[in-house]
Structure 1
Amino acid sequence: MPRTPARVRRRTRVPAPGPPAAGTSSADTAAEEEAHDQPGRAGRALWRRLPLRTAAGLVPAVLVGVWALAHRSLMASGVHDLVAADPGWLLAALACTGLGWAANSVARQGTVLEPLPRLPLLATQFAATAAGQLAPAGLGASAVNLRFLRVNGVPLARATAALALYSLAESCCRVGLLLVLLAANPHALHAKGLLPDGDGLLLLAAAAAAVTAAAVLTLVLAGSLRRAAAGFVTDALADARTLHARPERALALWGGSLVFPLIQAASMAAVARALDLPVAPVPVALAYLAATCAAALVPTPGGIGSVDAALAVALVAAGAPTGAAASAVLAFRIVTVWLPLLPAALTLSALIRRKVL
């Protein structure tokens, strides 16, 4: 009988590891394998050890980019108005903005006894302009300054008291400057249309009374909160007395707090002059101060919306046409906020990475 050929199975053999080549030891072979695997392990270790501070430093720039994309049509309209403006006055407005950061730095130094490093303090105020656009009522800028004080050794309670003292001094100086200019120029603003009348005033009064009553009721019912608030006020007053016992700190606090809104008003007047707004500089400054004081009642991120609307109404009350007032407000927002926004966000990221904040 014929035989059926048997199936031949092919097997692939893995060669057994042979002895190391001549002149190569097992230790050298292990070193070569470790060196070969080193880049992969280094990359994995770098990914695992990516600092949270570095990631946090990238957040402001990303948020600014998203915000700019969302408002690109509005920014394009404002840039179109700026092209025809006087560049000299626009540079003057930009210079006033920079001087405002310097005045802010002086005022911040006046709120604490410890000497703060000057250049990092100035950079922090510049970076705080970006943070201020991301949170309402200046909370972003306050958070940046609080972190800066904590990094420079100021205890949390005293750093918080310093922020409260700055807000109080700046608000008092802003309102006081407005009242002085109004007394010197009583007919610079037309109150009709600028302030609500009738039902509007009644609604504002009712809202203010409700907020005050809610705050008082909360303090009365919450014993621990009341004690904490009383302790904070006591400590803050003690710190304020100590600071005002040193003339250089008191001068820095109140001088910087007074110069800051004055420089901001001058920046608005420079923008109005660049656009040939038919309003004199003093009424423009008055309109800006009145608008910022009124907009403080409606906190929005960076004052966007509340300040813009109040400023447009105030400029119209000062005698500007409606269209020209809107263009001036948009140009002022671009020069003083939007143009420095990306550099400020990058500065904020750098300060976070360098552990200044």
Structure 2
Amino acid sequence: MSLLPLDDLSRTLPAPARSPSYAPLARRALSLVPLLLIGAWAAADWRAVRDGTARLVSADPWWLLAGVFFTCLGWVTAACVRQGAVPERLPPLPLLASQFAAGAANHVLPASIGAHAVTLRFLQARGIPLARATASLALYSLVKPIAKTLVLLVFVLAFPKMLRLGRLVPDEGTLLLVTAGATLGVGAAAVLLTALRPLRRATLGFARTALTDARLLHTRPSRVLALWGGSAAAPVLQASVVASVGASLGLPVSWPQMIFAFLAASTAAGAVPAPGGIGPVDAALVVTLVAYGAPVDLATATVIGYRVLTVWLPLLPGALALAALVQRKVL
């Protein structure tokens, strides 16, 4: 009985069946998720979209163009802040595209989860480890409210007589509720870290990584300027969109007052985890504009116009950009 050589025997045996790869199918499905979410969100809020668009038709187009310009500058600023939060140099155009796409994701999920998820995927695709990418998101989230508060204080000091703060200060009940919530949150975190050793170990490792990167970044003037300068400029640019829309509709409120109204409203309502701040910030912004003497209908139209320029107008292009970045494996 003759034996076949091993090479001949391997050719006679049937090839093992390949298991189907579901990665391309999953990637295509993920690329369609943003479009489906955007469609559902727009259908639920269609009346506001229609009314806001109708209001903007009669507005001054040049002021609206200025609002579009400030909106575009906001994406550039977001890219600068993201670059300032990591030591590695990121490619400018893909970074800008990721922040444009992150804007669409940010208006679907609450508490900036969508934007952070897109940025985290982008940083990992650039070869940055998960721990350091997460640390950059934590640094970004910490610097932004500090910078906004500093800008708010600058406006208070620069315009002490023009700004009417009395009606904008929260009452004692609201302050007590916020203090109690913050105390409970810190207490719960302390109990969990004390009781769960794996969680405490992971938290300490993350804190060491974050502090190491933060110290390194603050030794580079370019990163400091991008991180802190961009964080301070971002809320001013958003407020400038509000001021541009208000000017286009003839809102009888000065630019410093409209900018301060947005800063105060977004700071007061920023703790509410709504998608993109939509809802709480809108209500607080209408209240602050009315406190400065604006008619309720014009204040409401200004806020709706602001949302049209910053949310509804770039929403579909941002979702398409997000789907394209996922399809091309940039995210």
Match of 2:210 in 1: 236
Match of 2:153 in 1: 179
**Counterpart residue identity of residue 125, structure 1:** Q
Shift of 1:179: 0.8
1:218 maps to 2:192: yes
User: Where in structure 2 are there 5+ consecutive unaligned residues?
Assistant: 1-18
Match of 2:27 in 1: 53
Relative to structure 1, is the Cα distance of residues 187 and 210 closer, same or farther in structure 2, using a 3 angstrom cutoff? farther
Does the CA-based 8 Å contact 1:182-1:188 persist in structure 2?
Answer: no
> Which among 322, 325, 328 is matched to residue 299 of structure 2?
325
Q: How far does the alpha carbon of each residue in 1:64-97 deviate from its partner, in whole angstroms, 9 at most, with x for none?
A: 1121111111111111111111111111101101
Relative to structure 1, is the Cα distance of residues 74 and 236 closer, same or farther in structure 2, using a 3 angstrom cutoff? same
Shift of 1:187: 3.8
Match of 1:134 in 2: 108
Match of 1:291 in 2: 265
Shift of 1:258: 1.8
User: Where in structure 1 are there 5+ consecutive unaligned residues?
Assistant: 1-44
- What does 1:23-172 correspond to in 2, within 5 Å? 50-172=24-146
Deviates more, 1:337-346 or 1:73-82: 73-82
- What does 1:204-215 correspond to in 2, within 5 Å? 204-215=178-189
Relative to structure 1, is the Cα distance of residues 199 and 260 closer, same or farther in structure 2, using a 3 angstrom cutoff? closer
Match of 2:229 in 1: 255
Structure 2 distance, partners of 1:273, 1:126, is 26
Q: How far does the alpha carbon of each residue in 1:10-48 deviate from its partner, in whole angstroms, 9 at most, with x for none?
A: xxxxxxxxxxxxxxxxxxxxxxxxxxxxxxxxxxx9997
Structure 1 distance, partners of 2:330, 2:99, is 12
Does the CA-based 8 Å contact 1:108-1:166 persist in structure 2?
Answer: yes
Structure 2 distance, partners of 1:192, 1:259, is 26
Structure 2 distance, partners of 1:263, 1:332, is 12
Does the CA-based 8 Å contact 1:93-1:266 persist in structure 2?
Answer: yes
Structure 2 distance, partners of 1:71, 1:114, is 40
Rg bigger for which structure?
Answer: 1
Does the CA-based 8 Å contact 1:57-1:353 persist in structure 2?
Answer: yes
Q: How far does the alpha carbon of each residue in 1:301-328 deviate from its partner, in whole angstroms, 9 at most, with x for none?
A: 1111111111111212222222221111
TM-score, with structure 2 as normaliser: 0.90
**Counterpart residue identity of residue 267, structure 1:** V
Relative to structure 1, is the Cα distance of residues 234 and 48 closer, same or farther in structure 2, using a 3 angstrom cutoff? closer
Deviates more, 1:256-265 or 1:85-94: 256-265
Structure 1 distance, partners of 2:23, 2:138, is 37
**Counterpart residue identity of residue 248, structure 2:** A
Q: How far does the alpha carbon of each residue in 1:240-277 deviate from its partner, in whole angstroms, 9 at most, with x for none?
A: 11111122222221222222222111111111111111
Structure 2 distance, partners of 1:111, 1:99, is 19
User: What is the Cα-based RMSD across aligned positions, in Å?
Assistant: 1.8
Task: State the SS of the aligned residue for 1:169.
Answer: helix
Percent identity, aligned pairs only, is 51
1:194 maps to 2:168: yes
The count of residues paired between Structure 1 and Structure 2 equals 313
Shift of 1:339: 0.7
- What does 1:314-353 correspond to in 2, within 5 Å? 314-353=288-327
Structure 2 distance, partners of 1:121, 1:80, is 34
Does the CA-based 8 Å contact 1:291-1:314 persist in structure 2?
Answer: yes
Structure 2 distance, partners of 1:59, 1:302, is 18
Relative to structure 1, is the Cα distance of residues 106 and 95 closer, same or farther in structure 2, using a 3 angstrom cutoff? same
**Counterpart residue identity of residue 48, structure 2:** L
Shift of 1:50: 4.9
Shift of 1:186: 2.3
**Counterpart residue identity of residue 223, structure 2:** R
**Counterpart residue identity of residue 339, structure 1:** L
> Which among 246, 267, 275 is matched to residue 301 of structure 1?
275
Shift of 1:135: 1.0
Shift of 1:193: 3.7
Match of 1:246 in 2: 220
Structure 2 distance, partners of 1:117, 1:75, is 35
Does the CA-based 8 Å contact 1:174-1:258 persist in structure 2?
Answer: yes
